[in-house]
């Protein structure tokens, strides 16, 4: 029996889809930042402390985690491949680790460290998406499996 050739249908790419996807990722990141930072503040308060009492480098790291975890969870829900989730997490946590180290070294205060973290994290995230433009610009991205 001969097998029939499988037709491969190219999925159209769209810069509009790409930018909507980027906006979606930023919204999830900032929503997670607010929600998880609020939960962290409640947790510290329940323990008799305050988030503001923690060392600045820890607060920068916690902020990075609070933004990265929801992003990766959302990407998982949208069925991004695990490797793409890992790339995005690295893009977010490397600037976080650098900013936390600079705060720990006394180069920046906590607020400046948080500012540097955010200023670098979003372009790093965009850089990963541009690197994988073909994937992030496809329609029905959440239904793709790799």
- The rounded percent of the chain whose pLDDT value lies above 90 is 71
List the domain boundaries for the chain: 15-143
Tens digits of per-residue pLDDT, 61-100?
999 999 999 999 999 998 889 999 999 999 999 999 999 9
Does residue 7 carry a pLDDT above 60?
A: no
Q: Which residue has the higher pLDDT, 2 or 134?
A: 134
Cα–Cα distance between 138 and 146 in angstroms, integer?
14
Choose the weakest-confidence range: 5-14, 43-52, 81-90.
5-14
Task: Give me the DSSP letters along 7-70.
Answer: PPPPPP--HHHHHHHHHHHHHHHHHHHHHHHHHHHHHHHHTT--GGGS-HHHHHHHHHHHHHHH
Does residue 107 carry a pLDDT above 90?
A: yes
């Amino acid at each position: 029996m001969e097998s029939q050739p499988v037709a491969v249908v190219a999925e159209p790419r769209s810069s509009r889809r790409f930018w909507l996807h980027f906006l979606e990722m930023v919204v999830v990141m900032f929503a997670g930042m607010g929600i998880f930072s609020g939960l962290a503040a409640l947790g510290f308060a329940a323990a008799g402390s305050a988030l503001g009492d923690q060392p600045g480098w820890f607060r920068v790291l916690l902020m990075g985690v609070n933004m990265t975890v929801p992003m990766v969870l959302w990407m998982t829900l949208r069925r991004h491949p695990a490797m793409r989730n890992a790339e995005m997490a690295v893009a977010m946590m490397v600037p976080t680790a650098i900013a936390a180290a600079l705060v720990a070294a006394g180069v920046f205060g906590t607020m400046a460290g948080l500012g540097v973290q955010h200023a670098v994290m979003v372009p790093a995230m965009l850089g990963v998406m541009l690197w994988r433009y073909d994937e992030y610009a496809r329609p029905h991205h959440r239904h793709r499996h790799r």
